[in-house]
Structure 1
Amino acid sequence: MACGGNSKFFVFGFLFMLLSLILDIVGVAAPYWIYGEKGSGKVYLGLWKICVSGDISGYNISGCSEFEDVPDWFKAVRGFGLLGILISAIGLISALLKTCLKDRVSVLIIAIIMSFISAVCTVVSIAVFAEKHYDLVKDSSFVNFSFAFAFCAVSIVLSAIAGICMIIEIAKRSSYTTIDGR
């Protein structure tokens, strides 16, 4: 059994899944979900750290620290973000296995399901953060969402497109007659 020879829909789906996973990892790990600038001070906030820099009372302060007391909704944001990454990785591994197991539609179905579940987990993560971030930043007039938040949002779209491409792959292949490929 030789690996390779997949259709363009599968290849596009696989590439979108890979890009989605990379963007999701960077988005969840980077301390740039929120960016704020007021005067000479700058604040960056992510899921794991908060970073500040600038002049405060005549002192130049710069550095990052981890959160000490994290609210439950913030733990949920972290959890769903990590769950989205894990499920996306499982879907990518399933898609990779499909390259050598051509006649096994079940492996491709697992990749499709994981792609959509990953998108849902990431949606929950960024939706809760977008709704509740005001609890962390009391004066939100100078705060905007930053690139890591946007990366997670883009990963949702790419993950959904990957799942759709793989659904088209199944629909176009007439050799998939049963769930076990017989």
Structure 2
Amino acid sequence: MACCGHSPCFGFGLFLLILSLILDVIGVGSPYWILGSVNGEKVYMGLWQMCTSGSIVGYEFSGCTDFDEVPDWFKAVRGFGMLGILLLLIAILTAFVKICLKDRSCVLIISIILSFMAAVCNVVSVSVFAEKYYDIVKDSSIFSFHFAFVFVVLSIITSGIAGICMIVEVSKRSSYSSI
């Protein structure tokens, strides 16, 4: 089987899916969703643990701890974040399968649907976390969203654009008119 014959739009869409997965894994896995800084002490919080660093009277300290108990909404944020990662992984795998199965348009359509479903899962994850932000931090003047939160937002954007690129690929091929 030949593994060529796809447009640059398909290649760009596949690249964006891979980039989206990388951004999502870093975003969901790292403890940098929120950053707080006051008097030289820093507090980082992610979905899985909280880290602190700073210095007191010349002594440096840093460490991370896992969360003992988490509320249900926090479990939902974690769950939708992990589901987004899983859906992106399956979307990438189906896009690679499509490379070798040129005549099977349903494989590419599955990849498109999965990329949009991953974006929706990540939107739910980010929006619930942002909604509960003020419940987590009592003084919002010293806390702000950090890079891992932004990475998940970027993952939403890139997976949506990847789905659009693959829709363009489907619309370019007349053989896809009959599924």
Q: Does 1:143 align with 2:112?
A: no
- Alignment match, 2:117: 117
Post-superposition, which runs of at least 4 consecutive aligned residues in structure 1 deviate over 6 A? none
How many residues in Structure 1 have an aligned counterpart in Structure 2? 179
- Alignment match, 1:38: 38
Cα 1:14–1:144 change in 2 (3 A) is: same
Q: Does 1:105 align with 2:90?
A: no
- Alignment match, 1:78: 78
Counterpart mapping for 1:1-182 below 5 A: 1-55=1-55, 60-179=60-179
- What do the CA deviations read for 1:39-71 (whole angstroms, capped 9, x no partner)? 111000000010011245886431000001101
Q: Distance in 2 between matches of 1:16 and 1:136?
A: 32
The secondary structure found in structure 2 opposite 1:4 is coil
Alpha-carbon offset, residue 140 of structure 1:
1.9
Q: Distance in 2 between matches of 1:129 and 1:106?
A: 35
Q: Distance in 2 between matches of 1:37 and 1:168?
A: 45
Cα 1:137–1:56 change in 2 (3 A) is: farther
Q: Distance in 1 between matches of 2:24 and 2:162?
A: 14
Q: Distance in 1 between matches of 2:4 and 2:18?
A: 17
- What do the CA deviations read for 1:101-151 (whole angstroms, capped 9, x no partner)? 001100000000000000000000000001102222222210010100000
The secondary structure found in structure 2 opposite 1:82 is helix
- What do the CA deviations read for 1:58-96 (whole angstroms, capped 9, x no partner)? 864310000011011100000000000001111111101
Q: Distance in 1 between matches of 2:150 and 2:178?
A: 39
The secondary structure found in structure 1 opposite 2:22 is helix
Deviates more, 1:52-61 or 1:132-141: 52-61
Query: Percent identity over the alignment?
Result: 61
Amino acid at match of 2:103: D
Give unmatched runs, 5+ long, in structure 2.
none
**What value does the CA root-mean-square deviation take over the aligned residues?**
1.3
Amino acid at match of 2:42: K
- What do the CA deviations read for 1:14-59 (whole angstroms, capped 9, x no partner)? 0010100110000000100001110111000000010011245886
